[in-house]
Structure 1
Amino acid sequence: MQVIKKNTLSTVVINGEVGAYVFDGSDHGVSTSAFIVDVPADLGPRRHKHPYEEIFIIVEGSVRIEADGETVDAGTDDICVVPADTPHAFSNLGPGRARMVNIHAAPKVVTEFVAGGPENIDYHYNHSS
């Protein structure tokens, strides 16, 4: 069994604050990756896509997920699945923080940012903390 300390993982910094930790499975000899997300109200990543499915498990709070023109408000009773190669974004609906684990069905996280906003977010992907 492995135990990986979250603070040893790469991070995503959104507007100057760590918004997620990136667990790249291949760095640890496993075939699945994840984002451990913790964002304040009204915040989330720029629109992007992955070449594999992404599974959103909301642990606390509520989020709005937009995927390929469909919008869903999801909370702790929901698990959302975004298909491979589907442009998507999410934001925390507030008022408190949103925490979730986003499972990436791949040994390494691959993200391609696409047009369609929000574009005014200061976003640093894979920034080491």
Structure 2
Amino acid sequence: MTNLSGGTIGPGAAIPPDDTSRKLTLADPDDPKARHISVAGGTYTILLSGEETGGRYSLIDMLVPPGGGPPPHRHDFEEMFTILAGEIELTFRGEAHRASAGSTVNIPANAPHAFKNKSDKPARLLCMCTPPGQEEFFMAVGDPVDSRTAAPPKLSPAEQAERIQRAKSLAARYRTELLV
């Protein structure tokens, strides 16, 4: 078996040398320079991009208001959520599950899923995608906002329809299929 650095992995395999071209990343979700994007009714903050992790994963801080969450979709990469605050209802292969603060949920690659915040309080999730790319999709289809806690922009019905069409037209490029 081969690791992401091209070295052999397994019992007794040597650990590759340190790649000193890679730098430490310290991500603060409230950093004014962080990339904050309004997507699917929520505000998503890109904590770590694939570029910053050597193509290994991305990490996104999601603030999902009551009623927020993405439509049914699937993609060819793993997606893991850790719920930091609040609760979501996750639909996985047509079956509903509740996940609340402290829970971690892993969505296998290619499985249809969606989630919604059905409570009356915001939910906060950390989302890891491996390999990365989902953060780039969010940047391509979402609307920039000023901070992690900024409310999503109020979009007219025409603007909402344009965002949905944009997401549908770009989804395949980012290894995603919208099931709506």
Partner of 1:114: 178
Look at both structures and tell me which one has the larger radius of gyration over its CA atoms: 2
Identity over the aligned pairs, expressed in percent? 23
**Any idea what SS the aligned residue of 1:27 has?**
coil
Residue aligned with 2:50, SS: helix
Alpha-carbon distance in structure 1 between the residues aligned to 2:34 and 2:79: 23
Q: Paired residue for 1:72?
A: 97
Q: Are residues 1:21 and 2:57 paired?
A: no
* Distance verdict in 2 for CA 1:45–1:111, change over 3 Å: farther
Deviation at 1:61, TM superposition (A): 0.2
The answer to whether residue 166 in structure 2 is matched with residue 102 in structure 1 is no
Residue 5 of structure 2: aligned partner: none
RMSD between aligned alpha carbons? 2.1
Aligned to 1:63: 88
Q: Name the structure, 1 or 2, with higher relative contact order (CA <8 Å, separation 6+).
A: 1
Give the CA deviation at 1:3: 2.1
Tell me if structure 2 keeps the 8 A contact 1:57–1:100.
yes
CA-CA distance at 1:94 after TM superposition: 1.6
Give structure 1 stretches of 5+ with no counterpart: 117-129
Judging by fraction of residues, say which structure has more strand: 1
Q: Find the counterpart in structure 2 of residue 2 from structure 1.
A: 25
Alignment check: 8 A CA contact 1:24 1:108 kept: no
1:25 is displaced (CA, Å) by 2.9
Give, as a single letter, the amino acid of the residue that structure 1 aligns with 2:121: G
Q: TM-score, normalised by structure 1?
A: 0.75
- Superposition deviation, residue 24 in structure 1: 5.5
Runs of 4+ in 1 over 4 A off after TM superposition: none
Answer yes or no: is the 8 Å Cα contact 1:10–1:23 preserved in 2.
Answer: no
- Cα 1:24/1:3, change in 2 over 3 Å: closer
